[in-house]
């Protein structure tokens, strides 16, 4: 893009980890003059203003979106369409609406019919996060070196797509464009399934705790590393399960088959086959770390 991109008014609904971190970049890079935060809880919005993430806030969607040039929807995925439905009458022609939801197919299907004539919707998903939530968790370096996936459809305006690409590149992310179905299949495997496993693993040990054995106090670094993402927001992750249900079920079935076959090898005491299984996983994981040495685990 030739000249630097600038928006007079940016409205961000959901000033949490993802929306708040993006707001900090828009401010630091001079991409936005005025950032209005919209949310439900006063405490989070007040924190966001105190931390310099937003210029002002409102809990009134109409007031927040009025005259915005860019709208970022950063609420849990199940609430994205409802948010846009409420916002639609207040969006001005030419406004760009983008989201950051972790599921793309269902969001696009729900949101596309709600977008008024002359308003442009670009679906996106930054592949970055921590297990923390809310404005206090936001930091501007969150996206550096991470991927951000944009999933345009045939209806997506090419100019709006380029502007959203520019915004994400300004965060330090590498922008990748793909279709929503591919996004949902890949993310089910590398993000949604690991969260399901982490929650299940912690609850499995929780069952042992419930039987009166304090197993958790014996857990070491490995257990904590592996289960870090089980501290993620239950609301966000239950929404993701609902919105990416078909892909997630397929991925869970594939995982269950693998676990069953591992169980059979353990039962048979087939150590050679176990070594081969573990060796394959070790070399895949080692090459991931070797190729991305600076990434957070
Ligand atoms: P978060 O830190 O919990 O922030 C979500 C924000 O949305 C909160 O500030 C919450 O504030 C607000 N909110 C929730 N429901 C709302 C509603 N109905 N109306 C208005 N505001 C509402 O969550 P996050 O991690 O930033 O996730 C936000 C989005 O980013 C989700 O769609 C998620 O799928 C996506 N995402 C997350 C990650 C990740 O790893 N965390 C990565 C990439 C994408 P109040 O409760 O005060 O309203």
CATH of domain 182-296: 1.10.3660.10
Helix residue ranges, H only, 71-156: 80-87, 105-111
The predicted pLDDT at position 297 comes to: 38
Q: Which residues of the chain does CATH 1.10.3660.10 include?
A: 182-296
Select from 64, 215, 200, 46 the least CA-distant residue to 135: 46
Nearest-atom number in ligand 1 for the CA of 43 is 47
Q: Which tokens is 122 given?
A: 């670009």
The predicted pLDDT at position 174 comes to: 97
Which stretches of the chain score pLDDT less than 70? Answer: 1-3, 293-297
Q: How far is CA 30 from CA 5, 148, 263, in A?
A: 9, 20, 55
Q: Which tokens is 90 given?
A: 């207040």
User: Domain 7-178 belongs to what topology?
Assistant: Rossmann fold (3.40.50)
Q: How far is CA 239 from CA 84, 128, 196, 228, 267, in A?
A: 17, 18, 13, 19, 37
The predicted pLDDT at position 294 comes to: 57
The predicted pLDDT at position 261 comes to: 98
3-state secondary structure of 32: strand
Name the DSSP letter for residue 189: I
Residue 269 gets the label, from left (phi > 0), alpha (psi -120 to 50) or beta, of left
CB under 6 Å to ligand 1: residues? 13-19, 39-41, 44, 74-77, 79, 83, 100-102, 125-126, 128-129, 133-134, 137, 233, 236
The predicted pLDDT at position 3 comes to: 55
- Whether this prediction's pTM lies above 0.75 is answered by yes
Nearest-atom number in ligand 1 for the CA of 77 is 32
Q: Which residues of the chain does CATH 3.40.50.720 include?
A: 7-178
DSSP element (H, E) containing 168: helix 158-170
The predicted pLDDT at position 198 comes to: 98
Nearest-atom number in ligand 1 for the CA of 99 is 32
Write out pLDDT tens, residues 230-254. Answer: 999 999 999 999 999 999 999 999 9
Give the C-alpha separation, 193 to 251, whole Å. 7
For residue 17, how far is its CA from the centre of ligand 1 (angstroms)? 7
């Amino acid at each position: 893009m030739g000249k630097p991109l600038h928006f007079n008014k940016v409205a961000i609904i959901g000033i949490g980890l993802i929306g708040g971190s993006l707001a900090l970049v828009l401010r630091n890079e001079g991409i936005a003059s005025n950032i209005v935060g919209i949310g439900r809880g006063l405490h989070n919005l007040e924190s966001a203003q105190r931390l310099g993430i937003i210029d002002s806030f409102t809990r009134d969607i109409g007031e927040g979106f009025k005259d915005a040039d860019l709208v970022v929807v950063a609420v849990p995925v199940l609430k994205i369409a409802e948010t846009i439905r409420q916002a639609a009458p207040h969006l001005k022609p030419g406004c760009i609406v983008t989201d950051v939801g972790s599921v793309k197919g269902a969001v696009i299907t729900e949101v596309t019919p709600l977008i008024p004539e002359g308003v442009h919707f670009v679906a996106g998903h930054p592949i970055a996060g921590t297990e923390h939530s809310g404005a206090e968790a936001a930091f501007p370096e969150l996206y550096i070196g991470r991927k951000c996936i944009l999933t345009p459809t045939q209806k997506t305006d090419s100019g709006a797509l380029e502007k959203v690409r520019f915004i994400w590149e300004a965060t330090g992310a590498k922008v990748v464009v793909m279709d929503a179905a591919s996004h949902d299949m890949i993310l089910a495997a590398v993000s949604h399934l690991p969260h399901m496993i982490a929650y299940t693993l912690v609850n499995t040990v929780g069952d042992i705790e419930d039987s009166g054995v304090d197993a958790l106090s014996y857990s070491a670094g490995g257990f904590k590393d592996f289960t870090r993402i089980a501290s993620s927001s239950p609301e966000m992750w239950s929404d993701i399960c609902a919105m990416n249900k078909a892909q997630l079920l397929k991925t869970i079935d594939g995982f269950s088959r693998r676990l069953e076959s591992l169980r059979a090898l353990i039962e048979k005491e087939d150590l050679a086959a176990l070594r081969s299984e573990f060796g394959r996983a070790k070399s895949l994981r080692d090459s991931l770390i070797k190729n991305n040495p600076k990434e957070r685990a």
